Amino acid sequence: MQFLWPHNLVWMLLPLLPLAYLWLLRRRGKVAVRLSSLHIARAAVRPGWRRHLPPALVGLALALLLLALARPVAPITLPWARSTILLAVDISRSMRVEDVKPSRMVAAQEAAKAFLAEVPARIEVGLITFAGTAQVAQQATADRAALVQAIDAVQMQFGTALGNAIVLCLAELFPEHGIDLAEMTFGTRRAARSLDAPPPGRAPRAPFTPVRAGSFDAAAIILLSDGRRTTGVDTLLAAQMAAERGVRIHVVGLGTPDGHAAMGDEMAMFLQLDEPTLRKVAEITGGEYHHAATAEALRGVYQTLGSQQQLRRRETELTALLAAAAALALVAGAGLSLLWFGRVA
């Protein structure tokens, strides 16, 4: 357990509460003869556990309030209904081609930001960027400003690891599956046909049962790319991994098949829009392919998105919980005192 306001931590005063109670008991015995009501006098010295329970509840309430003052935080496993969309944005050098005005890269950024302006606040959105490697630029969050900042901060790089981006999205959505992108890319399994098979000498991952493609409605991937893979995990094998987990990949193809010609680049082939591959990714996973970077084309993604009830261990502030428990203890102590003794102890 940690505390947001440790300077308010006055729990060291808690041992004084029982001492104060014992002092009050002794003092009550000395002044009992001065009480005007015989009934109150008898109640004050009445033996048995009922005599001590109401003060104990009041003491418990004070102890909880003292602890709440420090704003404790602890990891707690709670049920959580989650809806997630991951934006996977291509930041490879081929995205500088200007067959989509002002460029493929700017068009992708504008499409992503337009989508964020439309998507409901209840849906968390994350940003994955990829070129020769893939990385999490922003974990799934409801903070739209942080996402826009991450989108504006992207820098183009060499290479296009389209399959890596898909696998990294799956690793974010299903951490319990233990997907190891580094091992899949550089390890002993990089030539394997089954990307979910464990590497030699390692224990198998937590088993999962493949489901119908497109059946997992609590999350979706939106892929914005020109689609020409140059390195990394095979794109269609990665798409098959997504299909087996029921995750739809909606693809926005950026560019035109012959738009690269205006660049006069010796590597012209790698600047072409690989529309057949992008269409196949959407087809395998049950998603949709759009050759338009518009918010309208993406709106259907979140309109059909459901939520998944999960158990998630999160750092949770306990102040409100402790205050509520203190209030209940205080009410219970006062109520029992009134019920048993006709007064608040």
Give the global pTM: 0.62
pLDDT at 265 over 80: no
Give the residue with greater pLDDT, 223 vs 37: 223
- C-alpha triplet 178, 288, 130: angle, nearest 5°: 50
| Predicted pLDDT at 71 | 84
| Average of per-residue pLDDT values in the chain | 78
The residue type of 280 is K
Q: Where are the alpha helices (DSSP H) in the chain?
A: 16-31, 38-44, 53-68, 104-118, 144-152, 162-173, 181-186, 235-244, 275-285, 295-303, 319-341
pLDDT at 307 over 50: no
Given a contact cutoff of 8 angstroms between Cβ atoms, the answer to whether 195 and 223 are in contact is no
| Predicted pLDDT at 315 | 73
Given a contact cutoff of 8 angstroms between Cβ atoms, the answer to whether 130 and 165 are in contact is yes
| Predicted pLDDT at 203 | 46
What domains appear along the chain, each with residue ranges and CATH number? 2-76+315-341 (no CATH), 84-306 (3.40.50.410)
The 3-state DSSP class for residue 1 equals coil
How many Cα atoms occupy the beta-carbon half-sphere of 105 within 13 Å?
18
- Cα(114)–Cα(146) distance, integer angstroms: 15
Residue with tokens 């087809």: 283
Helices 275-285, 235-244: axis angle to 10 degrees equals 20
pLDDT band with cut points at 50, 70 and 90 for residue 254? confident
Of 66-70, 259-263, 284-288, 327-331, the range with the lowest mean pLDDT is: 259-263
The 3-state DSSP class for residue 140 equals strand
pLDDT at 179 over 80: yes
pLDDT at 136 over 60: yes
Share of the chain above pLDDT 70, in %: 68
Give the residue with greater pLDDT, 106 vs 260: 106
